[in-house]
Protein backbone atom coordinates (compact mmCIF):
# COMPACT_ATOMS: atom_id res chain seq x y z
CA UNK A 1 0.00 0.00 0.00
CA UNK A 2 1.45 3.32 -1.09
CA UNK A 3 0.99 6.36 1.15
CA UNK A 4 0.96 9.81 -0.46
CA UNK A 5 2.94 11.79 2.14
CA UNK A 6 3.29 14.81 -0.12
CA UNK A 7 -0.48 14.89 -0.67
CA UNK A 8 -1.13 14.59 3.07
CA UNK A 9 1.34 17.41 3.77
CA UNK A 10 -0.32 19.60 1.12
CA UNK A 11 -3.72 18.98 2.75
CA UNK A 12 -2.31 20.12 6.11
CA UNK A 13 -0.78 23.21 4.50
CA UNK A 14 -4.15 24.06 2.91
CA UNK A 15 -5.92 23.70 6.27
CA UNK A 16 -3.35 25.93 7.96
CA UNK A 17 -3.72 28.51 5.23
CA UNK A 18 -7.52 28.45 5.63
CA UNK A 19 -7.19 29.18 9.33
CA UNK A 20 -4.40 31.67 9.57
CA UNK A 21 -4.15 33.55 6.30
CA UNK A 22 -6.01 36.65 5.33
CA UNK A 23 -7.95 38.95 7.55
CA UNK A 24 -11.15 38.22 9.38
CA UNK A 25 -13.78 40.67 10.56
CA UNK A 26 -12.41 42.86 13.35
CA UNK A 27 -13.99 42.30 16.79
CA UNK A 28 -13.54 44.12 20.07
CA UNK A 29 -13.00 42.18 23.24
CA UNK A 30 -12.82 43.46 26.78
CA UNK A 31 -10.80 46.55 27.57
CA UNK A 32 -10.86 46.09 31.35
CA UNK A 33 -8.12 45.23 33.82
CA UNK A 34 -7.39 41.60 34.60
CA UNK A 35 -8.62 42.10 38.16
CA UNK A 36 -11.94 43.56 36.97
CA UNK A 37 -12.40 40.65 34.54
CA UNK A 38 -11.72 38.03 37.23
CA UNK A 39 -14.26 39.67 39.56
CA UNK A 40 -16.86 39.88 36.78
CA UNK A 41 -16.44 36.24 35.82
CA UNK A 42 -16.70 35.04 39.41
CA UNK A 43 -19.92 37.05 39.84
CA UNK A 44 -21.52 35.78 36.61
CA UNK A 45 -20.17 32.23 36.51
CA UNK A 46 -19.41 31.25 40.12
CA UNK A 47 -17.16 28.22 40.42
CA UNK A 48 -16.64 27.83 36.67
CA UNK A 49 -13.13 27.67 35.24
CA UNK A 50 -12.04 30.72 33.29
CA UNK A 51 -9.22 31.57 30.95
CA UNK A 52 -8.17 35.12 30.02
CA UNK A 53 -6.79 35.25 26.48
CA UNK A 54 -5.33 37.75 24.03
CA UNK A 55 -4.62 37.72 20.30
CA UNK A 56 -7.76 35.68 19.65
CA UNK A 57 -9.77 34.55 16.67
CA UNK A 58 -13.37 33.39 16.81
CA UNK A 59 -13.98 30.71 14.21
CA UNK A 60 -17.54 30.37 12.96
CA UNK A 61 -17.96 26.81 11.69
CA UNK A 62 -19.15 26.61 8.09
CA UNK A 63 -22.01 24.12 8.50
CA UNK A 64 -24.81 22.81 6.34
CA UNK A 65 -28.39 23.52 7.41
CA UNK A 66 -28.73 19.97 8.82
CA UNK A 67 -25.44 20.23 10.72
CA UNK A 68 -26.45 23.61 12.16
CA UNK A 69 -29.77 22.16 13.31
CA UNK A 70 -27.97 19.34 15.14
CA UNK A 71 -25.56 21.77 16.79
CA UNK A 72 -28.40 24.02 17.95
CA UNK A 73 -30.43 21.06 19.24
CA UNK A 74 -27.40 20.06 21.34
CA UNK A 75 -27.46 23.52 22.95
CA UNK A 76 -24.36 24.81 21.18
CA UNK A 77 -23.45 27.75 18.99
CA UNK A 78 -21.09 26.85 16.10
CA UNK A 79 -18.26 29.07 17.38
CA UNK A 80 -14.79 28.18 18.61
CA UNK A 81 -12.09 30.44 19.99
CA UNK A 82 -8.42 30.12 19.17
CA UNK A 83 -6.09 32.34 21.19
CA UNK A 84 -2.42 32.84 20.51
CA UNK A 85 -1.77 33.91 24.09
CA UNK A 86 -3.13 32.77 27.44
CA UNK A 87 -2.94 35.53 30.05
CA UNK A 88 -4.27 33.52 32.99
CA UNK A 89 -6.03 30.21 33.49
CA UNK A 90 -7.93 29.74 36.76
CA UNK A 91 -7.21 26.01 36.92
CA UNK A 92 -3.61 26.24 35.65
CA UNK A 93 -4.29 23.96 32.69
CA UNK A 94 -2.38 26.40 30.46
CA UNK A 95 0.70 28.47 31.21
CA UNK A 96 0.93 32.19 30.53
CA UNK A 97 1.86 32.62 26.87
CA UNK A 98 0.48 29.25 25.73
CA UNK A 99 -2.01 29.00 22.87
CA UNK A 100 -5.45 27.44 23.33
CA UNK A 101 -8.40 26.29 21.23
CA UNK A 102 -11.79 26.00 22.88
CA UNK A 103 -14.51 23.46 22.41
CA UNK A 104 -17.82 24.62 20.94
CA UNK A 105 -19.52 27.66 22.45
CA UNK A 106 -22.69 27.45 24.57
CA UNK A 107 -23.13 31.20 25.25
CA UNK A 108 -21.38 34.33 24.05
CA UNK A 109 -22.09 37.40 26.18
CA UNK A 110 -21.18 41.04 25.80
CA UNK A 111 -18.74 40.30 23.02
CA UNK A 112 -16.02 39.02 25.36
CA UNK A 113 -17.44 36.23 27.59
CA UNK A 114 -17.16 33.09 25.47
CA UNK A 115 -18.57 30.16 27.43
CA UNK A 116 -18.05 26.49 26.66
CA UNK A 117 -19.33 23.52 28.68
CA UNK A 118 -16.34 23.66 31.05
CA UNK A 119 -14.71 27.09 30.72
CA UNK A 120 -15.42 30.77 30.18
CA UNK A 121 -12.86 32.38 27.88
CA UNK A 122 -12.49 36.10 28.49
CA UNK A 123 -11.48 37.72 25.22
CA UNK A 124 -9.13 40.57 26.07
CA UNK A 125 -8.32 43.36 23.61
CA UNK A 126 -9.08 43.19 19.93
CA UNK A 127 -9.45 40.05 17.85
CA UNK A 128 -11.24 38.89 14.78
CA UNK A 129 -13.86 36.49 13.49
CA UNK A 130 -13.40 34.11 10.56
CA UNK A 131 -15.37 31.34 8.91
CA UNK A 132 -13.69 27.93 8.64
CA UNK A 133 -14.58 24.30 8.06
CA UNK A 134 -14.84 21.98 11.06
CA UNK A 135 -11.97 19.99 9.62
CA UNK A 136 -9.77 23.09 9.71
CA UNK A 137 -10.93 24.11 13.21
CA UNK A 138 -10.30 20.64 14.62
CA UNK A 139 -6.84 20.54 13.05
CA UNK A 140 -5.74 22.55 16.12
CA UNK A 141 -5.57 19.98 18.90
pTM score, whole prediction: 0.82
User: pLDDT per position in the chain (141 positions), as tens?
Assistant: 555 545 544 545 444 454 555 578 999 999 988 888 888 888 999 999 999 999 999 999 999 999 999 999 999 999 999 999 999 999 999 999 999 999 999 999 999 999 999 999 999 999 999 999 999 998 865
Instruction: Please report the pLDDT score of residue 140 as a whole number.
Output: 67
CA distances from residue 58 to 11, 35, 108 in whole angstroms, order as listed:
22, 24, 11
- 61 three-class SS: strand
- Reported as type and span, the H/E element at residue 9 is helix 5-20
Amino acid sequence: MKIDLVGMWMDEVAIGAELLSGLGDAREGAAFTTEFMMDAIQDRFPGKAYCLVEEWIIFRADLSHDELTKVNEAGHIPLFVFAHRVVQDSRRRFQMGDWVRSSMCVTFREGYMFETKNTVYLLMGNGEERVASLNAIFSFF
